[in-house]
Amino acid sequence: MAGGTPGATGEAFRSLGPKDFMATHPSTNGNAAASGRASIADGIAVPIRGEPSTGNIAADARLRTFLFLQGPPGPFFRHLGAELESAGARVLRINFNGGDAYDWPGPADHYRGRRSRWTLWIDAYLRDHAVTDLVLFGDCRPLHMAAHRMARLRGIRVHVFEEGYIRPNWLTLERDGVNGHSSLPRDPDALRAAACGLPLPPRQTPIVASLRRRVRDTWRYFSRSVWAAVRLRYPFYKSHRPGSIIVEGFGWTFKYFTRRLSARTAAATLARIEGERFFLFPLQLSSDYQIRIHSPFTSMQQAADYVLSSFAAHAPADARLVVKAHPLDSRFFGWGPYVASRARKLGLGDRLIHLNGGDLQQLAEASLGVVVVNSTSATFALARGVPVMALGKAVYALPGITHEGRLDDFWNAPRPPDPALYDAFQRVLHARCLVRGGLASESATRILVRNSAIRLLSECD
């Protein structure tokens, strides 16, 4: 995949400093197709959004230049770039750290400058490389936010990936922004109008997922990032994630080797609450921008304090609260001891339960109601008519879908979603925001690459 050509671009960037830019490699357009791998150009993928023909897609692709910034740990962005390139598009990439370079080992540019110089650097890059489309994972990372703003000023399409609004068989892909920045209709009447004529997606075979695959990809990404930092390959890079990536890497390792013990403990906890009346509170990651940007809280622990205090003061005496651990939380913070401590302080005894495992969908469907900051796990409950209280900004937090009012009132009078309105929401969500596939297995990634490439090439307005 191409990283562009030096030439005029090198001249434009010279004033920004010699360490800010690394010359790019010549184009290798067509490598994916030459390898015999199935691609869009082969007509293998199933078109969506009005079913554009592969011929039209291929013709349009030759006019497009896609620039990839950071993606999720693993090979997804690299394979997606190859798929777009095999359809005729020009593909560029900018790496910011050793993990990026490991996940995208082919031709690429490398930004090694200070964050303060990035805005003008990326603006010049977008201009001199005639970029038509910017592709990134997450729209709140500081480097991504700056690139997003400059791309919009130049009329460049911005495509944002994120973990799926509906899981586990989907990833989010939206134009211009996700989560609190989503362009989905916020008015119920506008949502119903947008849903007219849109089908619900058919039932399909579940996507294969493996925790081992996610741990492997994450460990490789972070270990290469640390090694490159030690060698001063990217001297000014600072992760968008708070805390130490070294500690996080060891956290993933610990999580993997203790998974069987966690599963046994979770099974015992589930047996204790079987047949009980309970509310569900799924935890989120404090490092997630859903908490840091799109909620009133500065951390998940702060949100938990708020929810637990409200439950202790206002919930029915026969109801329990299950605090469900996030499956990707690799921190060494002890949620179990924290919940036990809060139960004692609030006088809740065994009414407050920490659960590190279990089937989230089954728990949500069996609960009296689900309290979230803005977790996508709420969609499990909403799909079954279970009331949801959302404390932060979320794409599904609309009048008639989530509970309107105070959390203190939710415990005794939770309001279920309007089935017709939630049905309209699902239709619009699948049509505009979701691509089928996943990141946790090779087969899931292949499906995701194929469907994402068609969605990207179909969006040419």
- Whole-number pLDDT of residue 267: 82
423 inside domain: yes
Please name every residue paired with 323 in a beta bridge, in sequence order, or none if there are none: 281, 354
Question: pLDDT tens digit string along 192-202?
Answer: 999 999 998 77
404 inside domain: yes
More confident position, 307 or 356: 307
321 inside domain: yes
Q: Are residues 453 and 407 in the same domain?
A: no
Average pLDDT over every residue of 233-262: 74
Domain carrying residue 335: 275-432
Work out the pLDDT band at 242, boundaries 50, 70, 90. Answer: low
Quick one: three-class SS letters along 312-340? HHHCCCCCEEEEECCCCCCCCCCHHHHHH
Average pLDDT over every residue of 418-428: 96
Q: Are residues 332 and 318 in the same domain?
A: yes
| From 34-43, 58-67, 181-190, 387-396, the region with the lowest mean pLDDT | 34-43
Q: Are residues 445 and 413 in the same domain?
A: no
Instruction: State yes or no: pLDDT of 69 exceeds 60.
Output: yes
Question: pLDDT tens digit string along 25-63?
Answer: 333 333 433 333 344 443 333 333 333 344 455 568 889
Q: Are residues 416 and 445 in the same domain?
A: no
Q: Are residues 371 and 279 in the same domain?
A: yes
Average pLDDT over every residue of 84-90: 96
Question: pLDDT tens digit string along 352-362?
Answer: 999 988 889 99
CATH assignment at residue 108: 3.40.50
105 inside domain: yes
Nearest alpha carbon to residue 368 among 333, 307, 320, 427: 320
| From 4-8, 120-124, 326-330, 449-453, the region with the lowest mean pLDDT | 4-8
Q: Are residues 327 and 441 in the same domain?
A: no
Q: Are residues 17 and 129 in the same domain?
A: yes
Average pLDDT over every residue of 140-166: 95
Q: Are residues 357 and 448 in the same domain?
A: no
| From 49-58, 60-69, 236-245, 301-310, the region with the lowest mean pLDDT | 49-58
Q: How many folded domains does the chain comprise?
A: 2
Q: Are residues 442 and 377 in the same domain?
A: no
- Whole-number pLDDT of residue 7: 34
pTM: 0.80
Say how far apart CA 162 and CA 259 lie, in whole Å.
26
In degrees and rounded to multiples of 5, residue 122 shows phi and psi of: -70, -30
Say how far apart CA 275 and CA 450 lie, in whole Å.
43
Q: Are residues 450 and 393 in the same domain?
A: no
* Residues with Cβ within 8 Å of residue 153, at least 6 apart in sequence: 123
Q: Are residues 56 and 139 in the same domain?
A: yes
Q: What is the DSSP string of 7-27?
A: HHHHHHHGGG-GGG--PPPPP
Q: Are residues 295 and 423 in the same domain?
A: yes
Share of the chain above pLDDT 90, in %: 61
Q: What is the DSSP string of 270-323?
A: HHHHTT--EEEEE---TTSHHHHTTSS-SSHHHHHHHHHHHHHHHS-TT-EEEE
